[in-house]
Amino acid sequence: MATVKDVGERQLVDTIRSIVRPRSKNTVVGPGDDAAVIGGSSDGSIVISTDVVTKSRHFPKGMSYEQFGWTAAAVNFSDIASMGAKPLGFLPAVTIPEDEEENNLYDIMSGIDQCCEFCDVDVVGGDTKFGELAVAGTAFGTMEGRKPMTRRDAVPGDIVAVTGTLGDAAAGYYALEKGIDADEQIFKLMVPVPRVEYGIKMAATGIVHSCMDLSDGLANAACTICEMSRVGMEIEWEFLPVDDGTKEVLEACNQDVKDTVTRWGGEYELLFTFDRKDIKKLYDAGIAFSIIGLVTNDDGPYLRDGDKRTAMQNGIY
Amino acid sequence: MATVKDVGERQLVDTIRSIVRPRSKNTVVGPGDDAAVIGGSSDGSIVISTDVVTKSRHFPKGMSYEQFGWTAAAVNFSDIASMGAKPLGFLPAVTIPEDEEENNLYDIMSGIDQCCEFCDVDVVGGDTKFGELAVAGTAFGTMEGRKPMTRRDAVPGDIVAVTGTLGDAAAGYYALEKGIDADEQIFKLMVPVPRVEYGIKMAATGIVHSCMDLSDGLANAACTICEMSRVGMEIEWEFLPVDDGTKEVLEACNQDVKDTVTRWGGEYELLFTFDRKDIKKLYDAGIAFSIIGLVTNDDGPYLRDGDKRTAMQNGIY
């Protein structure tokens, strides 16, 4: 019999989707997007997402318990932010080893609460049980009448854009590993900021065709939008917003800059597409972003660097 | 330094509540009830709850993976049912060991999906990561304009009532342990039914003062309502709805029937209180229940059996 590891995460998810069957007319967006969108309320759909962070996978060397807690909340707020939702609350379900120091649990909760404060909501409930250290968080919010930004409505001809800068969290990770001084990058790794404000503003413009967060990396997000929208994408390496400092750190760590910047997960910027004629509405909304490519009716996504054009792969670090 | 085990679950929860601070005016009911109630929508508040079930604690001998999945969903639907909410969706965050057989994961998901079907909603999202086997589920729903039934509004003079029968799941557990034939009781243990329909009907009457599910047992629920409503309670042992068959199984297993029936968790009936003058409205709504006692302005809860009157303790099995 195959184990879940043999099958692989991606194949598991596909199979699970064939097991859980859609049946409710209230489900506007079901599994397969950053977050689900549920109707059943006249003025503003509910947006909701759940993600587990575990000690073995999301607790890099040097991270504090407080930062682990912040991260557990942030990854979930990022998922509802990318739909354009205003957060309404958060619920952490924490499993913790019996022999864990009590202060570590309080630090996790404090980190969660600080991220909730950043998003102007409460920890409205939760659960604590003994087990391997993990936080299964649920963030939910409301569209307040805005149309959700999904992964499936990118249109050929759209501009592809991204908020913030890329590669910082990866650089922080490798800097820690090598003992290189890189405070700014390490902070970005430890305290990811969900783009809640940008998500709300973007959805409010009504002009964004598709949007997804970069929690699994740029290549993964580009591949997913292409697959779900049945479009292609051309991304220009020269256009990607990578800080010089971050480049230097990655080079000092002997990392391939291009590969790291495009494929490293754990970044919480938003990748989005829109019709170029509407660009002024995004500027007027006060959203800072970089144009990085175009949606095509070819296949893809491809990364172009001068004469080289390579297919972007879905794998993440 | 104290470990979380030294501190104990109850004290942990109290401390956590002092760490997470209320700040949002949208939170109608925060931590401390069966589920949270959040406003921010004009017609019907959002009701939401998260609970983890773990292999070590919620996977009794003889349970199938499918039943484990059903249970993971049912405990959460029970929490929102006890507020009087109509379910809108469910999200499971599953952690699973890498060497677990893939079919076991599919069986868990199938069990979850069957319970969602019972509640007429979809699995709207979720997450799967490698780790110790656990399902952190989140159920959410809407009050549809009904007033939520909390734990804090019981009034002296109220009738105390409970849906269904008590002690069946406990009897099933001990029957399995002893190898005694008790199909009905074992089924109740393995496939708990959330009282969604009753919760909605009860809240719709508008006459229920307080309500809580029996997931941590009758004594715990009675103690919690007394504490949060600042009331006392007198419960009559003779009035508790315990099937003769269940009594026989417990006796055959050498279990103290009274102790087991009042203190065993893992039952999903609803304990609720209401003004006696309104009783006809509950009958008219088609809710089957047993009257088991009265709310007082004394302390308590107490269990009365003939001349004996003993304070009910908050501990659960």
Per-residue model confidence (pLDDT) at position B42: 52
Residue of B30, B131, B140 lying closest to A132 (CB–CB): B131
Query: For A65-120, what is each residue's pLDDT tens digit?
Result: 999 999 999 999 999 999 999 999 999 999 999 999 999 999 999 999 999 999 99
Per-residue model confidence (pLDDT) at position B88: 95
CB contact under 8 A, B5 and A92: no
Residue recorded with tokens 């990561």: B129
Q: CA-to-CA distance for A160 and A162, rounded, in angstroms?
A: 7
* Residues of chain A contacting B27 with CB distance shorter than 8 Å: 89, 122, 124
- Partner A, chain B 142-161, Cβ-Cβ below 8 Å: 142
Q: Is A56 on the interface with B (CB under 8 A)?
A: yes
Per-residue model confidence (pLDDT) at position B14: 81
What pTM does this model have? 0.93
Q: ipTM of the assembly? A: 0.92
Q: CA-to-CA distance for A285 and B106, rounded, in angstroms?
A: 45
Residue of A12, A121, A131 lying closest to B128 (CB–CB): A12
The stretch A37-52 carries a mean pLDDT of 83
Residue of B22, B41, B124 lying closest to A43 (CB–CB): B41
Amino acid symbol at B21: R
- Minimal Cα distance from A96: which residue of B? B4
Per-residue model confidence (pLDDT) at position B8: 83
- Minimal Cα distance from A118: which residue of B? B23
CB pairs under 8 A between A and B: 284
Query: For A182-194, what is each residue's pLDDT tens digit?
Result: 999 999 999 999 9
Per-residue model confidence (pLDDT) at position A81: 97
Per-residue model confidence (pLDDT) at position B19: 86
Per-residue model confidence (pLDDT) at position A21: 85
Q: Is B121 on the interface with A (CB under 8 A)?
A: yes
> In this structure, are residues B148 and B203 in contact, taking their beta carbons and an 8 Å threshold?
yes
In DSSP notation, B200-252 reads HHHHHHT-EEEEEE-TT-HHHHHHHHHHHHT-EEEEEGGGS---HHHHHHHHH
Can you read off the two tokens belonging to residue B44?
A: 């019907």
Q: Give the mean pLDDT of chain A.
A: 93
Chain-centroid distance, C-alpha A7: 24
In DSSP notation, A184-231 reads HHHHHHHS----HHHHHHHHHHT-EEEEEE-TT-HHHHHHHHHHHHT-
Which residue would you say has higher pLDDT here, B9 or A59? A59
Q: Is A59 on the interface with B (CB under 8 A)?
A: no
* Residues of chain A contacting B15 with CB distance shorter than 8 Å: 102, 106
Regions of chain B where pLDDT drops below 70: 40-44, 315-317
CB atoms within 10 A of CB B310: 13
Which residue would you say has higher pLDDT here, B138 or A62? B138
Predicted confidence (pLDDT) at residue A43 exceeds the cutoff of 70: no
Residue recorded with tokens 């979720």: B126
* Residues of chain B contacting A35 with CB distance shorter than 8 Å: 125
* Residues of chain A contacting B150 with CB distance shorter than 8 Å: none
Ramachandran bin of A252, using left for φ above 0, alpha for ψ from -120 to 50, beta for the remaining angles = alpha
CB atoms within 10 A of CB B129: 18
CB contact under 8 A, A88 and B6: no
Helix, strand, coil tally for chain A in percent (to 5): 40, 25, 35
CB atoms within 10 A of CB A179: 6
Query: For A135-144, what is each residue's pLDDT tens digit?
Result: 999 999 999 9
Per-residue model confidence (pLDDT) at position B24: 87
Min Cα distance B244 → chain A (Å) is 34
Q: What is the DSSP letter of A42?
A: S
CB contact under 8 A, B89 and A9: no
All structural domains of chain A: 24-142 (3.30.1330.10), 159-311 (3.90.650.10)
Can you read off the two tokens belonging to residue A152?
A: 């499936």
Query: For A260-295, what is each residue's pLDDT tens digit?
Result: 999 998 889 999 999 999 999 999 999 999 999 999
Amino acid symbol at B214: L
Q: CA-to-CA distance for B96 and B104, rounded, in angstroms?
A: 10
Residue recorded with tokens 């249970």: B71
CB contact under 8 A, A49 and B125: yes
Q: Is A52 on the interface with B (CB under 8 A)?
A: yes
* Residues of chain A contacting B93 with CB distance shorter than 8 Å: 50-52, 93, 136, 138
What burial class does residue A280 get, using C-beta atoms within 10 Å of its C-beta: 0-12 exposed, 13-18 middle, 19+ buried?
exposed
Per-residue model confidence (pLDDT) at position A60: 86
